[in-house]
Amino acid sequence: MTTASKEICKKLADKLGVVLDFREEAGDPWALIPAERWKQACLTARDEPELSFNFLRSLCGVDRPDDGVIEVVAHLFSYQHRHALVIHTNTDRSASRLESVSSVWPAAIWHERETFDLFGVDFTGNPDLRRILLPEDWVGHPLLKDYEEPDSYRGIPTTRPGYEKKKFGPQLKKPAPKKPAPKVEKKPEGGEAPKGTAGSAEQK
C-alpha cells in the first residue's frame, strides 16, 4: 500500500506540474493541493487511468484559525484499483472561496453544501449552494471556532430555561490547567498507580 500510495501522489504531481506536500504515515496517502489547482487536481485524479478515483468518499472542512485557513479535505477512492487518496487544500479564512468539484463528482453537491453550511466556504460553480443541515435563515456557521450561537431562532430559545449557555469557540482554545503534574511527583513509590493518573490526565 505504501509504495503504491507514493506512486499515486507522484503521478498526480507530475500531471499537475506542481510539487505536492505529501505524507503517507497517516494511513491513506495525503496530499496538499494549491487552492487554484483544486478542480484540476480532482479532474486529474478522476480521469487519469492509473488513478481513476471514481468515487468521492467524503468532502469536509477543517477550521484552523491559528493558521488563518479553512481546510477543505476530500477523501477519494478508486473502485478499479482499490486504492484511496486524501487531498486537501487551504482557503483563506476571512473570505473562504473554492472552485466547486460538483461537475467532477455529482456527489460533491451535497458535501459542498454541508461545508458551506457549517464553515461558510463559498464554492463557486456549485449549482445549488444552500444550507443543508440548518434552516436557510440561520445566522453564522457553527463549526467555525469563533462561532457564537444566537440566543434564539424564530422564537425558540437555543438554551433551555435554567441552563447555562453553551460555550463555543474561543473558550475551547484555552489550555486545561495542568494540576496532576505535581501529584505524580509526590507519589513516586506508588508503582503503577501514579502512571495511571498521569496517563488519564494527559488524555483529558
Partner 1 sequence: MTPTIERGPEGGFAVGPIDGLLNLARKHSLWYLLFGTACCAIELMQTGGPRTDTDRFGMVFRSTPRQADVLVLAGTISYKMASRIRLLYDQMAEPKYVIAMGSCANTGGLFQESYAVVKGGDLFLPVDVYIPGCPPRPESLCEGLMLIQQKIEREPWLKKAWGKYKSDKPDPMPTEGCEPLR
Taking CB under 8 A as the criterion, the residue among 80, 124, 159, 200 binding partner 1 is 159
Q: List the one residue out of 38, 76, 75 whose CA is nearest residue 60.
A: 75
- Listed ranges 32-40, 55-63, 83-91, 155-163: which one lies at the site for partner 1 (CB under 8 A): 155-163
Backbone angles phi, psi at 171, to 5 degrees: -65, -30
DSSP 123: E
158 lies in the binding site for partner 1 (CB under 8 A) = yes
55 lies in the binding site for partner 1 (CB under 8 A) = no
CB count in 10 Å sphere of residue 58: 14
22 lies in the binding site for partner 1 (CB under 8 A) = no
Supply the minimum distance, in Å, between the C-beta of residue 169 and partner 1.
11
156 lies in the binding site for partner 1 (CB under 8 A) = yes
Name the residue nearer to partner 1 (CB basis): 135 or 188: 135
Taking CB under 8 A as the criterion, the residue among 49, 135, 175, 188 binding partner 1 is 135
SS3 152: strand
153 lies in the binding site for partner 1 (CB under 8 A) = yes
Taking CB under 8 A as the criterion, the residue among 1, 133, 181, 193 binding partner 1 is 133
Distances (CA, A) of 123 to 37, 93, 182: 14, 14, 50
Cα 105 versus chain centre, distance: 19
Distances (CA, A) of 86 to 6, 78, 108, 198, 203: 12, 12, 15, 35, 27
Interacting residue ranges for partner 1, rule: CB under 8 A:
133-135, 138, 142, 147, 149, 153-160, 163, 166, 168
